[in-house]
Structure 1
Amino acid sequence: MHYRSREVVQVRRAYDCDVLVIGGGIVGLSTAYAITRAAPGTRVTVLEKESGPARHQTGRNSGVIHSGIYYRPGSLKARYAVRGAAEMVKFCAEYDIPHAVTGKLIVATARDELPRLHALVQRGRENGLTVRELGAAQIAEYEPEIEGLAAIHVGTTGICDFTAVARHLAEASGAEIRYAARVTRVDRRPDRGVAVRTASGDVVRGRVLVNCAGLHCDEIARLTGDEPGVRIVPFRGEYYELARPELVRGLVYPVPDPAFPFLGVHLTRGIDGGVHVGPNAVPALAREGYDWRTVRPRELAGTLTWPGSWQLARRHWRYGTGELHRSLSRAAFTRAVRRLLPAVREEDLVPAPAGVRAQAVLRDGTLADDFLIQETPRAVHVLNAPSPAATASLPIGREVARRALAELEGPGR
């Protein structure tokens, strides 16, 4: 027994950590948090290439705690969003993070949207949500300035500061967090674990790798020696701030197009009292292309040489043309907003920081419509975790932690 204990100690010393997480966004930090809670004593190191947490998808969204109404019943998105919304509110309350459960309206402004609105009611109820159907006159009970033919109210939607959530997850996890640690090389050997080299030349050794690299997750998977079968095609979400926030009380969404993963231009009152309008979704010319001026030829070439990108463009070119038009014309964007909020004027829309969605696209052009987690020996890759991943981050983290801990017990199980 004494000999066995000494052997275990020697094995642990051969590694800097048990689980090495790449990515300091909310999913990576939730995973670290879940691992240390499920298996106290497990050594976790998180490598984040930026100088702080939550600098990309986590910190550049509208801050909405999604209810789960949009997602296919039984899917990971549906189950984790419904569960995650309740857990996120509880987590924010526990750590005194600014948040509110506001509810939201989904509004039909044209007759051809009414069947899709009724379908959302059914989907929401299948996902266990309480949904109230509203006629045109009842919309004013919630939003006096909003006009539509019909609407539904979903009471469990809320808002919070996801960046603050990420910071608290980092602190509460007890993990070692290394910032400014961009990964440049991964050496994965099923019998020896992984060794990761950073841009500064540091080498970090772990028994299991967890890839939560968001916009770069497919690249990290390939560095590990795995072919993910998808590519991240970045879409920029462009936002405006409403100069007259008094026009909107809470959260107002259009009826989404089920053929596309974006929710359309919506209005969201944040925890700071301001109202964001957007996003408009356009192809980004870099993984972190937050404006049209940011172009990274290697990353753009990676998008253009992926067959799925062309299949996607061919399938959705009409939708994409409208998004591009609204990106280049504030007048066109204003007209889109007026469908919900007739009182808005072009001068009411003040440009605000954009975000980029890390959308996984399959080779045939199909958009991955659910969270995608892939396991290989000594590695777990999170390959598709766009919205509502922030809402669902706590249950996602537990699932990724479960898989990582199983790899610790026996690679490839």
Structure 2
Amino acid sequence: MTVVRAADSLRDQRRAAAALAAGGLRTGDRVLLSAAGSPALLAVVLGALRTGVVPVVLDPGLPPGERADLVEDADPALDLGGDPERLLAGDAEADLADVPLARPMHYTSGTTGRRKGVWSGVLGEDDARALAGEELELWGFEPGDRHLVLSPLHHSAPLRFATHTLLAGGDVVLPGPFDADRAAAAIAAHRPTTAFAVPTHLQRLLGRGIDWSSFRLLAHAGAPCPEPLKRAVLDALPADSVVEFYGSTEAQFTVCPAAEWLARPGSVGRARPGREMSADERGQLWCAVPRWARFEYWRAPEKTAAAWRGDRITVGDLGRVDDDGFVWLDGRREDLVISGGVNVYPAEVEAVLDAHPGVVESAVFGVPDERWGQRVVAAYVGSVVSAELGDWARERLAAAKRPKELRPVEELPRTSTGKVRRLDLPAVLGLDG
């Protein structure tokens, strides 16, 4: 377990920047890293960003073939692999900008298809300050913060929370790969003030007798949070400390403080400052974003064009925006199941299944069906038998939305940030033909 101090990280950021310059990297070049979370990874990312070099951060657990494909696509000027420390060996230090001059380039998680690189380029000074200031103001990062990292740093939200804590002068606690016992020990030993989590983390940490009183902010996102779990988290954490948000690798959309969620359970909140949410005639959500939040899909102009309408961006999520501006998610267009001509949103069915006291979590998807086009199938983790869960669903869902099959599983296949890999479920359950 490692604690990263802002002053130590700043020194290493200057060394990383000097080493990148000595290696011939210039503004707009890419440096690729595929390393586990460490002080060196954070220093190289920030040292690069604060000199206009764009870090491309990959999952260190990628299979060699997939990694090779992404490296070829990213075309980096330097590939550090799993060894960011090699940039910190020298004593030379370079000057840094006050704020990052770019965003890291991440590849989308691939839960609904081929990964896409998200590229924001290098920002002008005013836009760079606006981008950093937006995060610092929204989450209130300050020198007294101690941020607990629960998710892998190769994903955008965990990396963003950690780097902005360091930029504000706070500390970052790195317990290592997520383990509930290790995370609970870190909370007890280091008394963190902030953390970013996905619902899977929260589910595994609750009920362990953890003293959460040091937290001023527990932000969660990345996957739908079942209502029973959300209420348990709100009961366990200090008042007003739990904040949900809705975003993606590409962009950030909404924020939902605890009081607003309690007033509208199930909502993901309202648009972040400087943004505006809307839904089109198909129920697809769009967000108007400021200039500094724009991006393109790396070397994929057709995908970029499909995602933008003027200053509005969509990542394919479906939902609605009520008269007060609150956003309600139905799921991803790629996840939509059309059974007998009826649109079935997995999130709606999952909410009903997850409300059963014998269900820990569920995932709903469609499989080809000669009669219906697709039939609705649900995999679930829990103690309830499928017949009982079927009766529960029958009482609460219209016929077209009821799962035709309910399959108990030990666990759901996930990405490293907790998102269910729906594309893998048919194979896991032997339903892939």
TM-score between the two structures when normalised by the length of structure 1: 0.26
Larger RCO (CA under 8 A, 6+ residues apart): 1
